[in-house]
């Protein structure tokens, strides 16, 4: 079987983004746009994927590694861009899929269908992905012969008023016979409105050679091209809808789906409930039947079955929350493990720490993990009880079952089952407060003034 290869065109400057960041590195659902394109190509098991970039796009090359990149020196059009991949595609004589780096919502299924359509007949040189545009505007239009076969593509700038009436547009995605691709590209010219080499011209060239060209259609929402921040936001909205639908399909309840923001890799287990206004940054897995309450912000975290998070919790990278554990309101957890059944329910910072199974971290407890230079680790044993408003100065260890009295500052290890407290001794002076008030009253201070 011949190898399928892919070319991703990403040499465009993306000037309309008005950004220092190359367009294809702008994130959608927590992943650079071009990462979504690579992910869509993933299931096709390609021999190679070559990314065409412009000069000075080393950060794009780094983002797509280990896939190779080739540099298109000038911006001479989509046809010229594919030509830049000639050497990198040497010997690729199966189907070559050509996709754009700025069309991130393309689905794997569509690409599979494109390849199948191309390979349906040996004389079929090119298959184009078309769509019916609500506003065809600047898109290229697919030209069909009387038999319905694809005869050419005309760019909007070069089209006649009659051709501009055509609703069937070119998405830019193509599947081309690799054995013929570069021969076709060598035959296109640049005698057009932009003076560029249009990839789209290979259709007419192939037809002149007596080769067969076809098209398939996909939904417009799948083919949103991102050229501006507004289009980036539109693409994000479509992607979020897809991710929410997939999460619900997999058995999670999203009480108010539209207010939950998911990352491309968020995994929600069966019977997870997510309350409104929750943000999942990249790298989050939530186990079965866990509950994520409103206004929580979670990234890089592993949450086990039956845990309850929030409302108003913040889990940062490296947070690992055990089964049935609880992280309550205004609690921040970073690079720390709460083992099964552990609780930190109110107003705490737990960073660089382990909280043993069933331990209770009282309200206002802070792990003092940073001394301005180094990070230290706090280890809280199973079943320990940390009294409210305690400071645990890392590195420090509280043994299993130990109790720390409220308001303590713990800077030395506490043995298992011990009580540790660092409070100043409490003094009590009987009647002092009443005497104090009487003394002040005699000076006339503190009396309620008459109004007016
Ligand atoms: C292209 C198609 C048009 C289609 C539209 C869909 C051509 C000639 N036209 O037009 O039919 O309807 O996409 O969105 O193909 N690029 C390079 N090097 C270049 C030029 C472009 O790598 O020299 C890359 C861009 O980074 C981008 C892609 O190719 O990822 C498309 O380029 P763009 O300039 O946006 O093409 P359109 O004018 O939109
Ligand atoms: Mg475009």
Predicted local confidence at residue 106, as pLDDT: 97
Same domain, 217 and 283: no
- Judge if 70 and 128 occupy the same domain: yes
- Could you tell me the CA-to-CA distances from 193 to 73, 123, 161, 204 in Å, in that order? 21, 31, 15, 17
CA distance 209 to 207: 5
Residues 97 and 133 in one domain: yes
What pLDDT shows up at residue 448? Answer: 63
What tens digit of pLDDT does each residue of 212-263 get? 999 999 999 999 989 999 999 999 999 999 999 999 999 999 999 999 999 9
Q: What are phi and psi of 205, to 5 degrees?
A: -60, -45
Q: In terms of residue numbers, what domain contains 300?
A: 229-420
In the numeric block, the tokens 């009487």 are attached to 438
Q: For the segment 164-194, what is each residue's pLDDT rounded down to a tens digit? A: 999 999 999 999 999 999 999 999 999 999 9
* pLDDT for the residue numbered 13: 82
Shared domain for 326 and 239, answered yes or no, is: yes
Domain assignment of residue 434, yes or no: no
- The answer to the question of residue 366 being in a domain is yes
Answer yes or no: is the C-beta of 69 below 6 A from any ligand 1 atom: no
| Nearest alpha carbon, ligand 1 atom 20 | 77
To the query of whether residue 36 is one of the catalytic residues in this protein, the response is no
- How many angstroms separate the CA atoms of 385 and 164, rounded? 73
pLDDT of residue 449: 58
CATH number of the domain enclosing 176: 3.90.550.10
* Chain mean position to CA 403: 42
Tell me whether residue 413 is in a domain: yes
Residue 304's SS3 state is coil
Q: What pLDDT shows up at residue 51?
A: 98
> Hey, which of 14, 100, 104 would you mutate to test ligand 1's pocket, going by the most ligand atoms within 8 Å of its Cβ?
100
176 and 235 both lie in a single domain: no
Q: Residue 100 domain-assigned? A: yes
Closest CA to 141 of 185, 196, 198: 198
Q: Is 225 in the pocket of ligand 1 (CB under 6 A)?
A: yes
> Nearest-CA neighbor of 135 among 161, 162, 169?
169
Q: Residue 397 falls within a domain, yes or no?
A: yes
> Who surrounds ion ligand 2 at CB < 5 A?
225
Say which ligand is closest to the CA of 37: 1
- pLDDT for the residue 451: 56
Give the Å distance between the CA of 225 and the centre of ligand 2: 6
> Which ligand 1 atom is nearest residue 9's CA?
22
Please list the pLDDT of the chain residue by residue as tens digits (452 residues). Answer: 688 999 999 998 889 999 999 999 999 999 999 999 999 999 999 999 999 999 989 999 999 999 999 999 999 999 999 999 999 999 999 999 999 999 999 999 999 999 999 999 999 999 999 999 999 999 999 999 999 999 999 999 999 999 999 999 999 999 999 999 999 999 999 999 999 999 999 999 999 999 999 999 999 999 998 999 999 999 999 999 999 999 999 999 999 999 999 999 999 999 999 999 999 999 999 999 999 999 999 999 999 999 999 999 999 999 999 999 999 999 999 999 999 999 999 999 999 999 999 999 999 999 999 999 999 999 999 999 999 999 999 999 999 999 999 999 999 999 999 999 999 999 999 999 999 999 999 998 776 655 54
Split into its structural domains, the chain has a count of 2
**Centroid of ligand 1 to alpha carbon of 100 (angstroms):** 7
| Final residue in a domain of this structure, among 200, 223, 246 | 223
Query: Rounded to whole angstroms, how far apart are CA atoms 294 and 121?
Result: 55
Among the listed residues 115, 131, 111, the one whose alpha carbon sits nearest the alpha carbon of residue 218: 131
CA gap 292, 308 in Å, rounded? 6
Tokens read off for 22:
């190359």
What CATH number is given to the structural domain containing 245?
A: 2.160.10.10
Do both 367 and 313 map to the same domain? yes
Q: Is position 444 within any domain?
A: no
**8, 12, 34, 51, best to mutate for ligand 1 pocket (most atoms within 8 Å of CB):** 12
76 touches ligand 1 (CB under 6 Å): yes
| pLDDT per position as a tens digit, 44-73 | 999 999 999 999 899 999 999 999 999 999
Q: What is the C-alpha to C-alpha distance for residues 414 and 356, in angstroms, rounded to an integer?
A: 14
Give the active site residue among 67, 297, 346, 377: 346
Q: Does residue 12 form part of some domain?
A: yes
From atom 19 of ligand 1, which residue's Cα is the shortest distance away?
77
- Which atom of ligand 1 has the smallest separation from the CA of 80? 23
Atom of ligand 1 nearest to the CA of 53: 22
Q: Residue 317: its pLDDT value, please?
A: 98
């Amino acid at each position: 079987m011949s190898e399928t290869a892919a070319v991703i065109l990403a040499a465009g400057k993306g000037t309309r983004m008005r950004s220092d960041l190359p367009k294809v590195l702008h994130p959608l659902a927590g992943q650079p746009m071009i990462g979504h394109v690579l992910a869509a190509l993933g299931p096709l098991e390609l021999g190679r994927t070559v990314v065409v970039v412009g000069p000075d796009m080393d950060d794009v090359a780094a983002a797509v590694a280990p896939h190779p990149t080739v540099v298109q020196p000038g911006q001479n059009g989509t046809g010229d861009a594919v030509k830049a991949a000639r050497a990198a595609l040497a010997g690729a004589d199966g189907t070559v899929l050509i996709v754009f780096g700025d069309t991130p919502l393309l689905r794997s299924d569509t690409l599979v269908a494109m390849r199948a359509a191309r390979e349906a007949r040996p004389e079929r040189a090119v298959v184009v992905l078309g769509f019916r545009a609500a506003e065809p505007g600047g898109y290229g239009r697919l030209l069909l012969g009387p038999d319905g076969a694809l005869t050419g593509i005309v760019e909007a700038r070069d089209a006649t008023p009659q051709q501009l009436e055509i609703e069937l547009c070119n998405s830019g995605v193509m599947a081309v016979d690799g054995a013929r691709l570069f021969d076709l590209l060598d035959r296109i010219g640049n005698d057009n409105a932009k003076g560029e080499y249009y990839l789209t011209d290979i259709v007419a060239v192939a037809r002149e050679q007596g080769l067969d060209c076809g098209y398939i259609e996909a939904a417009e929402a799948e083919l949103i091209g991102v050229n501006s921040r507004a289009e980036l936001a539109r693409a994000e909205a479509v992607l979020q809808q897809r991710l929410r639908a997939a999460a619900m399909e997999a058995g999670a309840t999203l009480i108010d789906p539209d207010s939950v923001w998911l990352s491309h890799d968020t995994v929600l287990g069966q019977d997870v409930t997510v309350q409104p206004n929750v943000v999942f940054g990249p790298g989050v897995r939530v186990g079965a039947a866990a509950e994520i309450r409103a206004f929580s912000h979670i990234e890089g975290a592993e949450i086990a079955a039956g845990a309850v998070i929030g409302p108003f919790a913040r889990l940062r990278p490296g947070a690992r929350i055990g089964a049935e554990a609880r992280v309550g309101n205004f609690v921040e957890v970073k690079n720390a493990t709460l083992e099964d059944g552990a609780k930190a329910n109110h107003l705490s910072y737990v960073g660089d720490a382990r909280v043993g199974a069933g331990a209770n971290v009282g309200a206002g407890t802070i792990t003092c993990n940073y001394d301005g230079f180094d990070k230290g680790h706090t280890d809280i044993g199973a079943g320990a009880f940390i009294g409210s408003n305690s400071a645990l100065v890392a590195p420090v260890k509280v043994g299993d079952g130990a109790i720390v009295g409220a308001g303590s500052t713990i800077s030395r290890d506490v043995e298992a089952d011990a009580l540790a407290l660092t409070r100043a001794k409490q003094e009590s002076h009987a009647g002092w407060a009443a005497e104090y008030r009487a003394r002040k009253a005699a000076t006339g201070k503190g009396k309620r003034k008459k109004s007016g």
